[in-house]
Amino acid sequence: MAGIYITTCEEETLGIAAELASKLKPGSIIAMRGGLGVGKTVFARGVAAGLDCGDDVTSPTFALVHEYHGTGLSLYHFDMYRVSGFESLCSTGFFDYAEAGGILLVEWSENIAQYIPDNAVTVTMERVDDNTRRICIENL
Q: What is the DSSP-derived secondary structure letter of residue 58? A: -
pLDDT in tens, 73-128: 999 999 998 888 898 888 888 888 888 889 999 999 999 999 999 999 999 999 99
Domains of the chain: 3-138 (3.40.50.300)
For the sheet with 75-79, list strands across it: 3-7, 133-138, 121-127, 29-33, 103-107, 75-79, 65-68
Backbone φ and ψ for 120, nearest 5 degrees, come out as -65, 145
pLDDT (average), residues 67-78: 91
* Predicted pLDDT of residue 51: 95
* Predicted pLDDT of residue 18: 96
Q: Is the pLDDT confidence value at 31 over 90?
A: yes
pLDDT (average), residues 27-42: 94
* Predicted pLDDT of residue 62: 66
